[in-house]
């Protein structure tokens, strides 16, 4: 049976880079945030968001993601409302995606809020990617052309590294890519041993 490896980490930790490296070893990777973005374009989800957050966050019928982000990252209860709309749809999509990999030993399920969404409960192993907060902030500012204040709000809306690590099987410190790659290789060797004994 296919084992699900949850891959998580705070915003800017570089978990997608790590996910891509796992993929280079032939391991299928599901990027939950990317899929959630696509799902949020579906008429069913758009209707639910409109119903919950009102017309003000839409421009010419198109969802303004920045306006929505400002609302949900300032009010935790609003973030929870959004998650309750999007996460069940992502879960269903992942279950369909998984069907095509029945003969594969491992797949990676990469999600920023793996713990907060409860997605970790479906994982056989969990990897947390960490990086110093300043490095994470810098990466997100460069990537999203945003401000330090907005990045900090998003960091504070997520679990801390300490909390994530306490519930994880493996930790990858993503300060230098070379070191992170060595960690990926080490984890793959451990998983191979576990596979032989299962």
Give the phi and the psi of residue 17 in degrees, each rounded to 5.
Answer: -60, -45
Known binding residue 14? Answer is yes
Known binding residue 12? Answer is yes
Known binding residue 147? Answer is no
Known binding residue 13? Answer is yes
Structure token digits, residue 103 = 């003969």
The residue length of the chain stands at 198
The answer to whether the Cα torsion of 184, 21, 4, 101 is positive or negative is negative
d(CA 192, CA 27): 13
Looking at residue 2, the DSSP 8-state letter turns out to be: P
Phi/psi region, residue 48 (left: phi>0; alpha: psi -120 to 50; beta: rest), is alpha
Known binding residue 176? Answer is no
Annotated binding site for ATP: 12-17
Annotated binding site: 12-17
């Amino acid at each position: 049976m296919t084992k699900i490896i949850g891959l998580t980490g705070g915003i800017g930790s570089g978990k997608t880079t790590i996910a891509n490296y796992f993929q280079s070893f032939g391991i299928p990777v599901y990027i939950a945030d990317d899929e959630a973005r696509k799902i949020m374009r579906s008429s069913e989800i758009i209707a639910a968001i409109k119903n919950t957050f009102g017309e003000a966050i839409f421009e010419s019928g198109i969802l303004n993601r920045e306006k929505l982000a400002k609302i949900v990252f300032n009010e935790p209860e609003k973030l929870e409302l959004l998650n309750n709309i999007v996460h069940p749809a992502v879960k269903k999509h992942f279950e369909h995606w998984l069907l095509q990999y029945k003969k594969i030993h491992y797949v990676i399920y990469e999600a920023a809020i793996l713990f907060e969404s409860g997605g970790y409960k479906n994982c056989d192993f969990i990897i947390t990617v960490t990086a110093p907060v300043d490095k994470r902030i810098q990466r997100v500012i460069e990537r999203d052309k945003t401000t330090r204040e907005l990045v900090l709000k998003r960091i504070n809306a997520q679990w801390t590294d300490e909390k994530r690590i306490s519930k994880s099987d493996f930790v990858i410190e993503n300060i230098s890519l070379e070191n992170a790659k060595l960690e990926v290789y080490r984890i793959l060797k451990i998983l191979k041993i576990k596979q032989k004994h299962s």
